[in-house]
Amino acid sequence: MKINEKKFIILTVVAIAIAFIGIAILFMSTTVRTPSKSNQVIAEVLEINKTLPWIEVQTNAVKNGRILKNFTCDGGGQEPIIKWKMYDNANCYAVIVFDPDAPMGTFYHLIELVKINGNEINVVKVYPNSAGYEGWFPVCPPKGETHRYFFVVVALKKCEIHKNFNELIKYIDTNAVALGYEMGTYTRR
C-alpha cells in the first residue's frame, strides 16, 4: 500500500469518527429536553406515575430561563399567557403553575382546566391557588431567595370537573396523555 492510500484511509476513518461524534452530540441535545431533576419535580408535585409524550409549552413570563419582573409581586403581577401545541386529538388540558421551592411546601400560582373546541378556548374550571384566590397569583419568593417556577400543561383523555385540586391531581395521574412545561427562576432583591 502506498503512503497516499494510507493517508486517505486514515483521514476517512477520522472523518467518519468525527461525524459519529457530531451526530451523537446532536442526538443527545435534541432528545434530552429538560434536566431529569425537573422531570422528577413535575412527577412528584403532580403525582404522575408514568412517562408521557412531550408537548411544547411556552409562556411570555419566561425569557432566557428567568421570570420577567412584570409577572411578579415586584412588578405589576401580570397574568402570563401560556401557549402549547395541541396533542393529537386531546381537547382538554390542565394548566398549572407552581413553585416547588416555597418555604411552606409547593405553592400553586394558577390551576385551570381548559377545553378546546376548534378555535375556541374555554376555561372550564379555575381552582383556588395556594393564596386561596381563583386565578393567577404573582410570583413572589421571599427576599434574597431564588425559586423555580414551572408552567405545566397536561393533555387529558377527557374533561372532568372536580370539586377540588386534590381530586384533579388524582384524575391527572390516571388520565394524562401528554405533558410539557417551561421553567423559569426568579430572585427577589
Binned at pLDDT 50, 70 and 90, residue 5 comes out as low
- What is the end-to-end Cα distance of the chain in Å, rounded? 70
Calculate mean pLDDT across residues 141-161.
95
DSSP 26-89: HHHHHH--S-HHHHHHHHHHHT--S---B--EEETTEETTEE-GGGBTTTT-PPPPEEEPPPTT
- Of 16-25, 57-66, 150-159, which range is least confident? 16-25
- Of 32-46, 110-124, 156-170, which range is least confident? 32-46
Q: Are 179 and 42 in contact (CB under 8 A)?
A: yes
Say whether pLDDT at 152 is over 60.
yes
Binned at pLDDT 50, 70 and 90, residue 16 comes out as low
Say whether pLDDT at 48 is over 90.
no
Calculate mean pLDDT across residues 89-93.
90
Please give the pLDDT value at position 24: 45
Calculate mean pLDDT across residues 39-64.
89
Please give the pLDDT value at position 183: 96
Q: Are 186 and 149 in contact (CB under 8 A)?
A: yes
The Cα–Cα gap between 174 and 102 comes to 27
Say whether pLDDT at 75 is over 50.
yes
Give the C-alpha distances (Å, rounded to integers) separating 71 from 79, 94, 132.
6, 20, 18
Please give the pLDDT value at position 87: 93
Please give the pLDDT value at position 9: 60
Mean pLDDT of the chain: 85
